[in-house]
Structure 1
Amino acid sequence: MSDLNNIGLEKAESKELAGKLNELLANYSIFYQNTRGYHWNIKGDDFFELHVKFEELYNDLLVKIDEVAERILTLDHSPNHRYSGYIEKSEIPESSQVSNGKTAVREILEAFKAIITLQREILELSDEAGDEGTNALMSDYIREQEKEVWMYSSYVDDK
């Protein structure tokens, strides 16, 4: 029993999961800040529509940031909280000031691709570890974000 943490998961597997969740936390944090920038700086014909849509997105990302950090704590590890660390670990780059709607949406789609790919890795690890809590969280995020990708992709479809 000494190899198990407080929620009955193998300590070594929990440590690996917490590390991947900290990578996800870094990506979410950079994605969040980028989206705030899109919200603040958007200009043009689609200003009203995109300004609201970007606010919805960054509010959702803020909730997910908190949930991921709390999951790391539940696994008996510490969530990273420094932006310098986020920048090092994130696959999502910091965005420059973006005021063009289609450019912002294309960057959002790239961010979702990185996030969903990482969440699929975490889903596989959590399944192997028998970690239903992390598994359910990742599964819910993926399902929700796949729909978001479809919607944002429809916006930039120039066909």
Structure 2
Amino acid sequence: MTQLSVIGLNQESAKSLADKLNQLLANYQVFYMNVRGFHWNVRGEKFFELHVKFEETYNDLLLKIDEVAERILTLGQRPRHAYSAYLDSSQIAEVKDVHDGRECVQQVLDSYQVVIALQREILQLAGDANDEGTASLMSDYIKEQEKTAWMLNAYLG
């Protein structure tokens, strides 16, 4: 007999989803710290607009970090919380000493491409597991971030 989680999902499926969400959490945490660094260190003629945009971006990432961690808990699992674990499992690399605005924007765009692809994987898994909560979360993130990626790409010309 299949064991169900407290929210009615197959426990094995819930664990698989939580593992992928932990991978997403790691990517979000590294992405967040990179954008904080861009916010603090960006220089050049576009400083004022990029400084504000990076703050808006890292505030949004911080909200998503919390939502993803809470979804992992809802699935009956534990979110990773050590930065060393994030660095080990993140596809997004830690970025150091970047202050050129265009390079910062390109790094943000590249990071969005990574999380969008991972969220699509999670969306598929969630659909297979009949996990509407995770699917809805990923769908919302993808829709929002695809538009942001388009805008960042347009900014870069």
Tell me the equivalent position of 1:154: 154
Which stretches in structure 1 are left out of the alignment for 5+ residues?
A: none
What's the counterpart of residue 56 of structure 1?
Answer: 56
CA RMSD of aligned residues (A): 0.8
For the Cα contact (< 8 Å) 2:38–2:104, is it kept in 1? yes
| Alignment map for 1:1-159 (pairs within 5 Å) | 3-157=3-157
| Amino acid across the alignment from 1:8 | G
Amino acid at match of 1:146: E
Q: Secondary structure at the match of 1:61?
A: helix
Q: Aligned equivalents of 1:100 and 1:155: distance in 2?
A: 14
Count of residue correspondences: 157
SS of aligned partner of 2:58: helix
Question: How far does the alpha carbon of each residue in 1:130-151 deviate from its partner, in whole angstroms, 9 at most, with x for none?
Answer: 0000000000000000000011
Which whole-Å CA distance do the structure 1 matches of 2:52 and 2:143 have between them?
22
2:86 counterpart SS class? helix
State how far apart, in whole Å, the 2-side matches of 1:128 and 1:2 are: 15
CA–CA distance in 2 between the matches of 1:90 and 1:72?
A: 17
Q: Which amino acid is the alignment partner of residue 107 of structure 1?
A: Q
TM-score computed with the length of structure 2 as normaliser: 0.99
Q: CA deviation at 1:48?
A: 0.2
Q: Partner of 2:9: helix, strand, or coil?
A: coil
Indicate the percent of aligned positions where both proteins have the same amino acid.
Answer: 57
Residue 99 of structure 1 aligns to a residue in which SS? coil
Distance in 1, Cα, partners of 2:110 & 2:51: 19
Task: Provide the TM-score with structure 1 as the length reference.
Answer: 0.97
State the secondary structure of the residue aligned to 1:140: helix
